[in-house]
A and B are shown apart, each in its own frame.
Chain A
């Protein structure tokens, strides 16, 4: 609480700036109002201070140098061009290289998705095989079959899966039971001969070891 009677000029000077800005609490403000009513010295000091803030707060006091706006606009444009030119040497070769990388990566990705490594060198990829078609595979075999195909090896390990999954795991369609889906019909005969030989080799290996793995 401010004692109005005790408000001295020295105290006023401490608070004049805050008073001018409306930054004093109401009690202090009232005490200062009261003091100012009877003090010409402080009133004049406050008037001088207000005059200072009004004069210097006038926009005419800060004059932007002639051409400032034009120079700023030009500098912004130069900056934009500099940024663009920093890109141009890169873009000259980076874009084709990036495109090549993306293309190669895309090919590799597409290859990995559509053509998994085949388990048989003699295999032919199937064509238009319904992805949800149920087929069977067996351990140690590289081929998937229609259930009931007489050429299924190791029938004790048979398991059922979709054609899509079988292909994704590297199995190839049986040249006999899946013949209608094979890409190269002319090559089927060659494949069949080779498959017969492979089957024979598998059988020999089966006989040779208890694991029967290939």
Chain B
């Protein structure tokens, strides 16, 4: 998984519910020019949902934008009892899954695709694992390493992990988005988290985060 060279500043000012409802009502009543204002706060989340499934940034952007157009075309079908963000992401996931099926993209499957459950899991122990502080994400190199680690996961784990832990969908929403059971979501999520933890720990040993400032004696292992 690659990251774009020149990221845009992330703007995450989700509209207040009242403001959003007002925008939705206006677009539904024909004020089409307000649609961009309505979806702009969700650009990152929509793009991330597409990236979770399609992996390549250019494919994800195209799918995300197509999903936005579909949301616009179907805005009258949106009902107030649903969350707009969930509805939008569901459209994006559907669009991305459809593209993946249609294009039959050959994806390099990651590690451990044969094991569906966690019964035989044995956590790896590392001599020098340390917790990586979130400040480390300021460094592009660290983000790239983390993205690479995520990219090595098998698709079924990566999708669940990205929708749940990066998109912040709840278990039920993740299950509905992917068309799987909540039990499967939980199983795959556990597996994904453990595998990423192992990968990051191994990366630490390999010096991925060697220039990070850590306090002495802070390693949990």
The number of chain A residues touching the other chain, given as a range, is 35 or more
Closest Cβ of chain B to A71, distance in Å, is 7
Whether A16 contacts B190 in the complex (CB less than 8 A), given A44-B220, A68-B43, comes out as yes
Distance from B60 Cβ to chain A, minimum over Cβ atoms (Å): 9
A13–B51 Cα gap in the complex (Å)? 29
Q: Does B69 contact A79, Cβ atoms closer than 8 Å?
A: yes
Are A56 and B196 neighbours in the complex by a CB distance under 8 Å? Answer: yes
Q: Is the CB of A63 within 8 A of B72?
A: no
A-B residue pairs in contact (CB < 8 Å), sample of 13? A13-B194, A14-B190, A41-B123, A48-B200, A55-B137, A56-B150, A56-B196, A57-B165, A58-B137, A59-B10, A66-B4, A66-B6, A75-B68
- Within B135-177, the residues touching A (CB, 8 Å) are 136-138, 143, 146-147, 150, 161, 165-166, 168, 171
Q: A44-B129, A72-B68 are in contact. Are A58 and B134 (CB under 8 A)?
A: yes
Contacts of B147 on A, CB cut-off 8 Å?
61
Q: Flag B117-133 by CB within 8 Å of A: 1 or 0 each.
A: 01101010100010110
- B165 neighbours in A (Cβ, 8 Å): 52-53, 56-57
Give the CA-CA distance A23 to B165 in the complex, in Å.
15
Q: Which residue of A lies closest to B136 (CB)?
A: A55
Q: How far is the CB of A50 from chain B (nearest CB, A)?
A: 9
Contact B43 A79 (CB under 8 A): no
| Minimum CB–CB distance for A149 against chain B, Å | 61
Residue total for B at the interface (Cβ-Cβ under 8 A): 57
B35 at the interface (CB under 8 A from A): yes
Residues of B with C-beta under 8 A to A13: 118, 121, 123, 194
Instruction: Check if B23 is an interface residue, CB within 8 A of chain A.
Output: no
Q: A58-B137, A60-B143 are known contacts. Are A52 and B4 too (CB-CB below 8 A)?
A: no
- Bound CA–CA A53/B190 (angstroms): 11
Contact call A23/B118, Cβ cutoff below 8 A: no
Cα(A58)–Cα(B68), bound, Å: 24
